[in-house]
Every structure is written in C-alpha cells, then in structure tokens.
C-alpha cells in the first residue's frame, strides 16, 4: 500500500459476546431488514485516524505500541442497552458498558496513550444509524432487556483501510497485548454470564 490510509483502534470482546450481539442484530433485522453494520464483528471503537501517510504505521504506531503494551488488562461489564441520537433523526442502539472507577481510569489512560482528546464512551454497537421509524419499532424490545455480562479485554486491535478506495474494507494489521501489572490475572479469567439472554 502506497497511498493514504485510515486507521481504526478497537477492543474486541470474546467470541461469546460477539455471537450474542450477532443474535440481537439478526433478531432486529427480522423487524426492519438489513441495516448498516448488521454483519460487522462486534467491537468497542476507541479512535479513528483518517488520511495518514504510509510512514504513520512505522513511526507513530511504533511509539504507540511501546506505551500501550504496558497497560493492564481490564474487566468490562455490559449493562443493558442505550441509544445515541444522530443528525437527520437517525439513532444507534448499543450495549452499554457500565461506568466504574477502574474502567473510567483505564479509558483515560488509553486516551493518553493513543494521544486523543475526544472523550471515549465505551459501547458495543448493535443497530447502527437506523431511522427514527425503525428505532420506534425496535426500542420497545430492547429497553427492558437486562443483558448483564462481564468480560476481560487483553489486547488492542489496529485495523487499516485505504482512504480513497471506495470499497476498501478494514483489515487487521496489528494486535497489541496488554502486559502491564494490576489486572494481569484477567487474561485467563473466564467470561462471566450473569443471566440467561432471551431474544425478542
């Protein structure tokens, strides 16, 4: 690759979480049809950097990796569903990540290490950028769902796509493991499912 590229930094939940999000998306599509990102792997987006020159991967990413690799692993907790309002009456339904003092401090450290100023609201998108009518169809099914589940995150994923390629897809170029102290024992911790999930 010789042209400009966009980079997306994200956290990937374990496969059990990804499968559950996929099931919610499939159930939603039965009501409103396919929507943006319906088949995308579930993840927590941290930052997106656009139109970077090729040396970004060699220089900036290398320095970032040195800082990120000393971060500790973190246990996150899914706590029900919420939604974002967008322009033009669009909305996004997402699985909320519970605010805890440890999680808030961890994400602040992540912001510092990534060199970003924008606040991070950790979440896992379920139904992205749907119309107000579609939202009104789906939200009654989501608003009282009590999905509570804990999982550990032990690495950061860096993905890339070509900026000016119309059909470019995100490709994983690097996984940076968290090797710091504090929560290191979480790497081998099992996923905790607090209750059975009943899809609508």
pTM exceeds cut of 0.85: yes
Q: Can you name the CATH fold of 5-193?
A: Cyclic Phosphodiesterase; Chain: A, (3.90.1140)
For 113-172, how does the pLDDT look when each residue is reduced to its tens digit (9 = 90+)? 998 888 999 999 999 999 999 999 999 999 999 999 999 999 999 999 999 998 899 999
Sequence spans of domains, the chain: 5-193
In tens digits, the chain (200 residues) has pLDDT values of 568 999 999 999 999 999 999 999 999 999 999 999 999 999 999 999 999 887 777 788 888 999 999 999 999 999 999 999 998 899 999 999 999 999 999 999 999 999 888 899 999 999 999 999 999 999 999 999 999 999 999 999 999 999 999 889 999 999 999 998 764 433 333 334 443 344 44
Question: Which contacts of 48-54 are long-range, i.e. CB under 8 A and separated by 24 or more positions?
Answer: 48/6, 48/7, 48/8, 48/9, 49/6, 49/7, 49/9, 50/6, 50/7, 50/163, 51/4, 51/5, 51/6, 51/163, 52/4, 52/5, 52/6, 52/7, 53/4, 54/1, 54/2, 54/3, 54/5
Q: What is the pLDDT of residue 199?
A: 45
């Amino acid at each position: 690759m010789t042209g400009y590229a966009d980079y997306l930094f994200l956290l990937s939940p374990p496969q059990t979480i990804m499968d559950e999000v996929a099931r919610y998306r499939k159930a939603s599509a039965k009501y409103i049809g396919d929507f943006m990102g319906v088949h995308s792997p579930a993840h927590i987006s941290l930052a997106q950097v656009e139109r970077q020159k090729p040396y970004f991967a060699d220089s900036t990413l290398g320095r970032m990796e040195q800082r990120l690799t000393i971060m500790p692993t973190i246990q996150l907790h899914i706590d029900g569903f919420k939604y974002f309002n967008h322009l033009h009456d669009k909305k996004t339904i997402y699985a909320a990540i519970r605010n805890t003092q440890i999680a808030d401090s961890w994400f602040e450290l992540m912001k510092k290490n990534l060199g970003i100023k924008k606040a991070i609201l950790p979440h896992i998108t379920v139904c992205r950028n749907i119309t107000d009518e579609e939202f009104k169809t789906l939200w009654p099914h989501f608003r009282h769902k009590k999905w509570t589940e804990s999982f550990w995150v032990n690495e950061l994923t860096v993905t890339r796509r070509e900026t000016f390629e119309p059909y470019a897809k995100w490709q994983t170029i690097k996984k940076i493991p968290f090797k710091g102290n504090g929560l290191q024992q979480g790497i081998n911790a099992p996923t905790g499912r607090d209750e059975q999930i009943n899809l609508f």
